[in-house]
Amino acid sequence: MTSIAPMTPLEPAEQESFDASLRRRAKAVIPGGLWGHMNAARLPEGYPQYFVRARGCRLWDVEDNEYIDFMCSYGPMILGYGDEDVERAAASQRAQADIANGPAPCVVELAELVVTTVPHADWVIFAKNGTDATTACVTLARAGTGRRKVLVARGSYHGAVPWCTPSLAGVTAEDRAHLLHFEYNDIASLEAAADEAGDDLAAILVAAFRHDVRRDQELATPEFARAARALCDRKGAALIVDDVRAGFRLHLGGSWETLGVRPDLAAWSKAIANGRALAAVTGNDRFRQAAQEIFITGSFWCAAVPMAAAIATLHKLHATDAVGHMARMGERLRAGIEAQARRHGIGVRQTGPVQMPMILFDDDPDLEKGNLFAAAALRHGVYLHPWHNMFLSLAHGEAEIDQALEATDHAFAAVAQQYG
Amino acid sequence: MTSIAPMTPLEPAEQESFDASLRRRAKAVIPGGLWGHMNAARLPEGYPQYFVRARGCRLWDVEDNEYIDFMCSYGPMILGYGDEDVERAAASQRAQADIANGPAPCVVELAELVVTTVPHADWVIFAKNGTDATTACVTLARAGTGRRKVLVARGSYHGAVPWCTPSLAGVTAEDRAHLLHFEYNDIASLEAAADEAGDDLAAILVAAFRHDVRRDQELATPEFARAARALCDRKGAALIVDDVRAGFRLHLGGSWETLGVRPDLAAWSKAIANGRALAAVTGNDRFRQAAQEIFITGSFWCAAVPMAAAIATLHKLHATDAVGHMARMGERLRAGIEAQARRHGIGVRQTGPVQMPMILFDDDPDLEKGNLFAAAALRHGVYLHPWHNMFLSLAHGEAEIDQALEATDHAFAAVAQQYG
């Protein structure tokens, strides 16, 4: 029988905040303190790294500071943290079974619900990470077409494994040997990349809209979307929409439904189960056979609780017109920010869909104004992001938007004082 | 506001079992009825696809048949389905926060616990899938060494993305351009592969033991493990142990602790949180810098509930001597099976660690005896696997082993009747 040393309790040391104490201890046992996109070292000073409570659209850090949250856990939260309907469905499924040697019946219910909700979908496969879904889409396109080249927009984020991750550390040239690049929304560059692929074009992989970090967002133009569809049809390639980040915020049937263009394959994750780990690949019948030939799986991909949560999430998204609500609240936030910026004499750019706000400042190449603005808003109880798109949810009501706008007014004043 | 058609209730049709009805509906919306390793089409007739209840070491299918389960959800269940200590810890964390814009403090507690438990670990990163962890290990080895070649054993399973998945559909040659193969436990073949890699050797990636499907299992020999370690030391490469499947069943500190050999990097998942979606990469300080340079992340990788479940799981594994218990129960099962086989005059081979049983029949190239045996045991209430290693758990006690042996006695009789 083994034994382990008792752990030092997780509590603040003297003359050190609890957050600082946790960060210090984390640095010893987690490289850089935290992996990936949630590492607070990427954010201005003052941002908390750890959270102890989440309810509705509010978060509390370890010092018990309360924030109205406009990141929604970088997308997964769409109905509100701890949404009662989702929690009830999840708890009910958990009381029966979560993992087993196969799925629970709810996998069938969820699959039928997804196929009913997403017009292009004849079928669906579930996974855990958004990267699972984008990688599967690329594999499916290659298996279904017998070709290799995949066109991706320069700078688009499609996940965090060697073929797509932003850092090139540990990546070999071969990992990306069959990717060709185009500029988002640029039809000529898309066609040039397709020409380069020749008769080896397997797929065009395109984000629901251009939501690259540190730059203005761009909705896909209808002309671009139609050109991508036409090109895939002409070449016999697969059109893949990466809806991992945007999915269920622009249109429940897929973000490109707003453009009247349907993909062959789509990748989903983040908001599909209001925060429980789930991803999905949807596809049409052209790729059904390929989906049976590739082998993708994971230890937890059949877990029933996230599926029950997803069923409850999708039903509530349908029943509440969550997309319409997020659009209205996003408009309210955008109009308020716009008026404040004008009043303070500060130039800002708000781009992309209102449900997924991005606020960048004019003449701000190093994001100094944006960082100052976000840090000041944070001190006034609003969690914004200075250079990544943000997210609204069904839990953001008029009162929360208006409370947030009080904070941003203070934040604009801080920017005006420094840069006015 | 959108609306969706009401779903047909999930209930059996006339003249069709509930399981058959669910499979029929699933086939329409999920390619092949189910993705991956849990597709019951891979198993003999009579195996259920769906489960409605799980408790302790028992599962119930949709027809309410009860089984003593020797697959443990293919590994994740290690303390028992619905283990009360784990469920209490998870529920307590969920009442506070699961996802947020950063982790909960328990990420620090879990990281410290893992580093305390696993001797080779100076640090840990958490993820969701076993494949996340194996892929990260390979990326880390390349980032840390600046080299590309990775030696893997022919036939070993390391995940289900293009660089490692068993099906070649949708896989390009470049996805595996830098893999070189050796035979598990064959030092000469390992050294030949290393010679081929020359000065471009980044890593040896090796499963905790040889647990390939459809063949006898093999524990790693101490000589092989030491040779792999020495080779990595001599060449400056990383030794990676894939402990995703075996982790926490042979030794809490890593399966190769039983051999006295420590890897530089290890991949973990499955049993780490008793069924909640979690994976981990552990590494030593040599690869800490690389771990900060690569970019790996996922939407749910900071979720707090699976981490709270993992803390409770690891503490209970320590406190109960779960490894010793599983070894004793595995010995009891193996001895019982051995005696029955002899009595029925049937040749079987039980290989690998007793905590992860594999039962294969002599003179059974098409697994017909094995399939007959497993299907007969299933009818007597015991869920075995005819060609994949099985798993014991802390919830398998003497009574359950003895009850299972009653079923296998009937199953041996069925095999003897057909083949005797």
State pTM to two decimals. 0.97
DSSP secondary structure string for all residues of A140-168: HHHHHHS--EEEEETT----SSTTT-S--
Given a cut of 70, whether residue B7 has pLDDT beyond it is: no
Task: State both tokens at A169.
Answer: 């550390």
Q: Residue A138 sits in a domain of what CATH number?
A: 3.40.640.10
Residue A249: inside a domain, yes or no?
yes
Say how far apart CA B102 and CA A48 lie, in whole Å.
Answer: 8
pLDDT for residue A5? 57
The whole-number pLDDT of residue A7 equals 65
Q: Strand A51-55 and strand A58-61: pairing? A: antiparallel
Asked if B29 lies within 8 A of A4 by C-beta distance, the reply is no
Query: Considering CB atoms only, which of A37, A318, A383 is closest to B297?
Result: A37
A277 and A392 fall within a common domain: no
Residue A216 lies in a domain: yes
In contact, A407 and A93? CB cutoff 8 Å: no
Domain CATH code at residue B332: 3.90.1150.10
CA distances from A269 to A284, A310, B131 (A): 18, 10, 17
A269/B contact by beta carbon, under 8 A = yes
Q: Which of residues 312-351 of B touch A (CB under 8 A)?
A: 315, 318, 321, 323-324
Based on the fold, state whether residues A250 and A333 are members of the same structural domain.
no
B62, B299, B316, B384: best mutation site toward chain A, by most A Cβ within 10 Å? B299
Instruction: Identify whether residues A233 and A143 lie together within a single domain.
Output: yes
- CB-based contact, A179 to chain B, within 8 Å: no
Chain A residues inside the 8 Å CB shell of B244? 299
A71, A100, A140 member nearest B54 (Cβ): A100
Q: What is the pLDDT of residue A4?
A: 61
In this structure, the answer to whether residues B367 and B381 fall within a common structural domain is yes
Reported ipTM exceeds the 0.95 cut: yes
The reported pLDDT for the residue numbered B3 is 52
Compute φ and ψ for A383, nearest 5 degrees. -95, 100
Q: Per the CB < 8 Å rule, is B54 touching A99?
A: yes
Question: Does residue A181 fall inside a structural domain?
Answer: yes
Decide if B9 is inside a domain.
no
Residues of B in contact with A119 (CB under 8 A): none
pLDDT score for B399: 98
Look at strands B179-182 and B123-127 and give their pairing.
unpaired
Domain identity same for B336 and B256 = no
Same domain, B282 and B314: yes
**Tokens 């018990």 — which residue?**
A64
Say if B190 falls within a structural domain. yes
- Cα A361 to the center of its chain, rounded Å: 23
Q: Which two tokens stand for residue B159?
A: 């995940």
Output the pLDDT for position B420: 79
Is the Cβ pair B99, A73 closer than 8 Å?
yes
Instruction: Indicate if B289 and B358 belong to the same structural domain.
Output: no
B112, A288: Cβ pair inside 8 Å?
Answer: no
Residue B5 has pLDDT above 60, yes or no: no
* Stretch B226-253: mean pLDDT: 98
What residues 214-233 of chain A have any CB closer than 8 A to a CB of chain B? Answer: none
A-facing residues of B in 90-149 (CB < 8 A) are 96-109, 111-117, 122-126, 128-132, 135, 138-144, 148
Q: Does B247 reach chain A within 8 Å, measured CB to CB?
A: no
A45 domain-assigned: no
> Do residues B209 and B344 both lie within one domain?
no
Are B304 and B310 a contacting pair, CB within 8 Å? no
What are the pLDDT digits (tens) for B60-100?
A: 999 999 999 999 999 999 999 999 999 999 999 999 999 99
Q: Answer whether B108 sits within 8 Å of A295, measured CB to CB.
A: no
Residue B17, Cβ density class (10 Å: 0-12 exposed, 13-18 middle, ≥19 buried): middle
* Residue A246 tokens, joined: 């945007």
Provide the Cα torsion B36, B42, B47, B52; round to 10°. 10
- B311 φ, ψ (degrees, to nearest 5): -60, -50
Question: Tens digit of pLDDT per residue, chain A (420 long)?
Answer: 345 655 677 776 678 999 999 999 999 999 999 999 999 999 999 999 999 999 999 999 999 999 999 999 999 999 999 999 999 999 999 999 999 999 999 999 999 999 999 999 999 999 999 999 999 999 999 999 999 999 999 999 999 999 999 999 999 999 999 999 999 999 999 999 999 999 999 999 999 999 999 999 999 999 999 999 999 999 999 999 999 999 999 999 999 999 999 999 999 999 999 999 999 999 999 999 999 999 999 999 999 999 999 999 999 999 999 999 999 999 999 999 999 999 999 999 999 999 999 999 999 999 999 999 999 999 999 999 999 999 999 999 999 999 999 999 999 999 999 997
| A133 CB-near residues (< 8 Å, 6+ apart) | A127, A244, A267, A268, A269, A279, A280, A281
> In this structure, are B283 and B394 located in the same domain?
no
The CA distance from A311 to A107, in Å, is 9
- Domain end residue (candidates: A286, A319, A352): A319
> Last residue of some domain: A319, A352, A382?
A319
Could you tell me which chain B residue has the CA closest to the CA of A137? B170
**Cβ-based contacts of A296 with chain B (< 8 Å):** 35-36, 160-161, 165
CB A146 within 8 A of CB B41: no
CB contact under 8 A, B174 and A174: yes
Burial zone of B85 (CB within 10 Å; 0-12 exposed, 13-18 middle, 19+ buried): middle
From chain B, pick out residues whose CB is under 8 angstroms from the CB of A144. Answer: 170
Do B345 and B239 share a structural domain? no
Considering only CB atoms, which chain A residues are within 8 Å of B237?
none
What is the band of B2 on the pLDDT scale with cuts at 50, 70, 90? Answer: very low
User: Residue A132 falls within a domain, yes or no?
Assistant: yes
CB-neighbour burial class of residue B374 (10 A; exposed 0-12, middle 13-18, buried 19+): buried
The total of structural domains in chain A comes to: 2
**Residue A412: which domain range?**
18-34+54-81+321-419
For the stretch B184-238, pLDDT in tens is 999 999 999 999 999 999 999 999 999 999 999 999 999 999 999 999 999 999 9
What pLDDT is stored for residue B159 in this prediction?
98
Query: Which of B271, B294, B319 is the last residue in one of the domains?
Result: B319
What pLDDT score was predicted for residue B1? 39
Q: Are residues B117 and B67 part of one domain? A: no
Q: What is the pLDDT of residues B135-147, one digit of tens each?
A: 999 999 999 999 9
Residue of chain B nearest A269, judged by CA positions: B299
- Residue B36, pLDDT above cutoff 90: yes
- Return the ∠ at Cα A400 (arms to A394 and A404), rounded to 5°: 125
Residue A348 lies in a domain: yes
Asked if A299's CB is within 8 angstroms of B76's CB, the reply is yes
- Examine the pLDDT at B160 and tell me if it is beyond 50: yes
**pLDDT bucket at B306, cuts 50 / 70 / 90:** very high
Q: What is the DSSP string of A4-48?
A: -PPPPPS-PPTTS-HHHHHHHHHHHHSTTSS-GGG-GGGS-TT--
Q: Are residues B94 and B237 in the same domain?
A: yes
pLDDT recorded at residue A6: 58
